[in-house]
Structure 1
Amino acid sequence: MTSRPITEDDLNGFVDQTLDPARTAEVAAYLEAHAEVAQRVATYRAQREELRAAFAPVIEEPVPSELDLRRLIEARHRPRTSARWSMAAAAVVLLAIGAAGGWSMRGMDLMPTEGIQALSREATASYAVYAPDHIRPVEVRADDASALDDWTSQRLGRAVTIPDLKSAGYRLMGGRVVPTEHGPAALFMYDDDKGTRLVMLARPMKAEGNAPMSPHEQGDVNGFSWADNGLGYSLVGASSADILRPLANEARRQIRSQVRGA
């Protein structure tokens, strides 16, 4: 239990990994108890990583000789600074801001807000929050699957099929209801008993109620998303697309088969 309230600065520091270990543990415990805040923080972290990945090719390039910091400092102390040196210095500053300023840009709408792309982003954010959790990754365990089915269907307002991936080597751990920008979503988690976890997110779609399966990638997390009859699904994990594709196909086959048999 933290003795100090968790502030926005603490959340910023948690995302930027600048907190001391004790405060990091306090913020992590707070996020575990406040799913909506945890979802928001996960989204910010995902945006931060996307920005870093986007700037990585530029950052890894060798610094041009005309932008060498020592030369820029020497030029700054010369009596007359040319416009060229001024522009070079400004370029270095802008590059540094672009490389490290992903978190400061968290308020900008950098991601799609509707459709299958938004669902993919939400699934990746949910995976980042819950898949690494070794204390309480799911709210309802698989041995109470009927309660999980009733809970998720009631919250989403529609029946949601829970795919069985045991034949592919992944057992259902359980699930929970998580918040998204578009209302509640059902999260189902799977494990191969070797530490590899998968997450499937399902929620009603306000846009693209029917969409073909499409791959997506964000950092080390890959996934496949699709929508059928107004429900969107996204299967994500830290596995290659070649491994996830047949799993997503099997999940979609079972879901469609269940709908046809209803």
Structure 2
Amino acid sequence: MHPFDPITEDDLNAYIDGGLDTRRRAEVERWLAQYPEEAARVMAELGDADLLREGLGDSGFSTPPDGETRHLAGRLRRRLIWRGAEHVMQRALVIILCLTAGYGISWLPIGAQPSAEAAHIVPLFADEAAEAFRTAMKEVRTEQSLAYPTPEVPARLAAIDAAHPLPIPDPPSQRWRLLGAQLAAWDRGDAVQVFWRHETKGTVMLFVTEDGVDPAEPAMAPTLGHTEEGDVIYWRSGPYLYALLGTADTKALERLANAIARPSPQ
């Protein structure tokens, strides 16, 4: 049983806004000490609030951030949670963020277990793919605006070893027409974005990259994840990482992913 009242979302929001008294603030911090993924979220929002106040030059600023700011804060949160769950680095990342925002917090435990929420956060590469698709849709990608008519050249350029280009699957049928491809940078290197268009289902983007950190991770079958940009299907084949998303419905994306997923070449 906790020695203090249950902490609610209203308490966390008040903590971020600086609206708690000393006693309640201490209770919130003691609660956050047991839930590092929530601490990551709170610290991200604290840092974001400080940046907003600084940018507006008004320490009394209380207007909620716009949609784009909330979108960026959400991405930061997901990155903190994913990296923490993946590399047990969450404590260090949160402390760095706290120091950047001016909060000297040192109570976060080492080796805390990720919550169920963290377990359902999509992998970083899938989140990057979703953001890349969002950007591409803003730019209204067409065959003329894509850098490469086919994915062979970017698959070689994005590979860790140019002699072993990223394996890019072909469209599963003639109803999926190749629009072209382009290179994209993400946190761990380069990726290839391949665009296909179906005669009735719309446009999809296949994001392909290579894991230069831990290529020995076991294969992963196509898995459905949810992001702010919509559903994404992601999988792993050897050291290669894939993510698929687009304007097609989720069932169509799943069928397409299962049709093109394949073991990595030996």
TM value normalised by structure 1: 0.51
Residue aligning to 1:139: 147
Of 224, 249, 254, which aligns to 1:215?
A: 224
Matching residue's letter, 2:183: V
**Correspondence 1:184 to 2:190:** yes
Q: Is the 8 A contact 1:216 1:223 kept in 2?
A: yes
Q: What is the alpha-carbon distance in structure 1 between the residues aligned to residue 75 and residue 242 of structure 2? A: 27
Shift of the alpha carbon at 1:160? 1.6
Q: 1:110 aligns to what?
A: 78
State the partner residue of 1:224: 233
Between the two proteins, what is the percent identity of the paired residues? 13
CA contact (8 A) 1:148 1:174 kept: no
CA offsets per residue over residues 96-141 of structure 1, 9 Å max, x none?
Answer: 7488661584794433245961111011111111245245542101
CA contact (8 A) 2:160 2:210 kept: no
Query: Cα offset for 1:228?
Result: 1.6
**1:82 corresponding residue in structure 2:** none
Kept in 1: contact 2:190–2:209 (CA 8 A): yes
Report the equivalent of 2:250. Answer: 241
For residues 164 and 233 of structure 1, the distance between their equivalents in structure 2, rounded to whole angstroms, comes to 13
1:166 shift after superposition: 4.9
- State the superposition RMSD in angstroms: 3.5
1:178, 1:186 within 8 Å by CA — same for their partners in 2?
yes
Distance change >3 Å, CA 214–CA 159, structure 1 → 2: same
Would the aligned equivalents of 1:222 and 1:238 in 2 still touch at CA under 8 Å?
no
| Map of 1:69 onto structure 2 | none
SS at match of 2:123: helix
For residues 99 and 137 of structure 1, do their structure 2 counterparts lie closer, same or farther at Cα, with a shift above 3 Å needed? same
Relative contact order higher in (CA < 8 Å, ≥ 6 apart)? 1
1:54-98 CA distance string (max 9 Å, x none): xxxxxxxxxxxxxxxxxxxxxxxxxxxxxxxxxxxxxxx99x748
Q: Deviations over 1:156-197 (max 9, x none)?
A: 774222222151621111111110011111111111245821
Structure 1 residue runs without a partner (length 5+): 1-50, 52-92
Note if 1:251 corresponds to 2:248: no
Equivalent-residue separation in structure 1 for 2:133 and 2:76 (angstroms): 22
Q: Kindly tell me: are residues 97 and 169 of structure 1, through their superposed partners in 2, closer, same or farther at Cα, counting changes over 3 Å?
A: same
Q: Alpha carbons of 1:154 and 1:125: their partners in 2 closer, same or farther (altered >3 Å)?
A: same
Answer yes or no: is the 8 Å Cα contact 2:166–2:210 preserved in 1: no
Structure 1 residues 247 and 225: alpha-carbon distance in aligned structure 2, compared to 1, 3 A threshold: same
In terms of Rg, which structure is larger? Answer: 1
User: In 1, distance between residues paired with 2:183 and 2:153?
Assistant: 12
Q: Aligned AA for 2:223? A: S
Report the count of equivalent residues: 163
Q: Secondary structure at the match of 1:161?
A: coil
Task: Return the alpha-carbon distance in structure 1 between the equivalents of residues 163 and 208 of structure 2.
Answer: 12
* Aligned CA distance change for structure 1 residues 178 and 99 (closer, same or farther; 3 Å): closer
Distance 1:104 1:199 in 2: 22
Q: Unaligned stretches of 5+ in structure 2?
A: 1-44, 46-60, 88-121
Distance 1:108 1:222, change over 3 A: closer
Please show how residues 25-174 of structure 1 align to structure 2 within 5 Å. 97=64, 102=70, 105=73, 108-111=76-79, 112-113=82-83, 117-132=123-138, 133-134=140-141, 136-142=144-150, 146-153=152-159, 158-167=164-173, 169-174=175-180
Kept in 1, the 8 Å contact 2:159–2:210? The answer is: no
